[in-house]
Structure 1
Amino acid sequence: MIVIYGIKESLNPIKSTLSDIIQFCMSQELGLPESKRAHRIIPMDKSDFYYPQGRNDSYTVIEINMMSGRHVKTKKSLIKRLFSEIATQLNISPINIEITIKEQEAHCWGFRGMTGDEVMDLKYKVNV
């Protein structure tokens, strides 16, 4: 699951394209199928969204929650691809993008009535 935070006036006009970019990168770098798109977009009032000095109102936070198992090289490649694609397609400088990957063991995930370590029919690999 991916959670995206930003100032609503900046995030709302680009949220569909940003979601497409993120899903493209997840597919390319992790092999995640399109059908596994799970994005939560949280547009915020400017008064509720504080960001570091030197950033502007396009500052966007992307939190990627996933089961642990991906290699460091794979995760770094995903982060770099996101920076590149967002800069190219949305003209948002990497200085205004913050990406965090949060990993949890498979047994900490619950979906379709079971835990992640019980699922045997995933259409993608976790250990990439």
Structure 2
Amino acid sequence: MSQIKIYGLRTHLMPLREKLSDTLHSCVVEAFRYPENKRAHRFFYLDKEEFYYPEGRSEQYTILEIALFEGRSAETKKLLYQLIFERFEKELGISPNDIEITLTETPLVNWGIRGKPGDELVLDYKVIV
């Protein structure tokens, strides 16, 4: 399971939110071997005066915060980063320099979902990949 928060300037994200969500989801499905129906994206649109970002970044600067069950290997996480950087540049025109990704892993027992703690769920996908 994962929950993804996407932060960026309203003027940048709003026009491409559907394509960005589709592109991001394709990366997660491929890297983490998720089923297609496991998409949970939330967009946080910021106005220019609310969003300070590092020097050297453009108005396309986008932050991705991904909360997920623990268990993915370093190689799997690196594959996710690679796919996001490549596809965001190719499909959305967002430079890798304008993308920041943070993964936050949570033990299954610390995630409540569908009326149960995560460690009691029967999942239709593997977490250890």
Using structure 2 for the length normalisation, give the TM-score.
0.96
**1:28 Cα deviation from its structure 2 partner:** 0.7
The counterpart of 1:101, out of the listed 83, 100, 103, is 103
Note if 1:73 corresponds to 2:91. no
Q: Which runs of 4+ in 1 moved over 2 A?
A: none
The counterpart of 1:38, out of the listed 4, 25, 40, is 40
Structure 2 counterpart SS, 1:99: strand
Unaligned runs of 5+ in 1: none
The counterpart of 2:24, out of the listed 16, 22, 25, is 22
**1:41 Cα deviation from its structure 2 partner:** 0.7
Between the aligned partners of 1:114 and 1:46, the Cα distance in structure 2 is: 40
Between the aligned partners of 1:114 and 1:14, the Cα distance in structure 2 is: 35
Between the aligned partners of 2:66 and 2:34, the Cα distance in structure 1 is: 13
The Cα offsets for residues 44-87 of structure 1, whole Å up to 9 and x where unpaired, read as: 11111110000011100001110000000000110111000000
**1:21 Cα deviation from its structure 2 partner:** 0.6
Between the aligned partners of 2:83 and 2:37, the Cα distance in structure 1 is: 20
Aligned residue for 2:125? 124
The Cα offsets for residues 19-44 of structure 1, whole Å up to 9 and x where unpaired, read as: 00111011111111121100011111
Note if 1:10 corresponds to 2:12. yes
Unaligned runs of 5+ in 2: none
Please give the root-mean-square deviation of Cα atoms over the aligned residues, in Å. Answer: 0.6
Query: Structure 2: which amino acid aligns with 1:124?
Result: Y
**Percentage of identical aligned residues:** 45
Give the aligned length. 127
Structure 1 counterpart SS, 2:37: helix
Between the aligned partners of 2:48 and 2:110, the Cα distance in structure 1 is: 33
**1:15 Cα deviation from its structure 2 partner:** 0.8
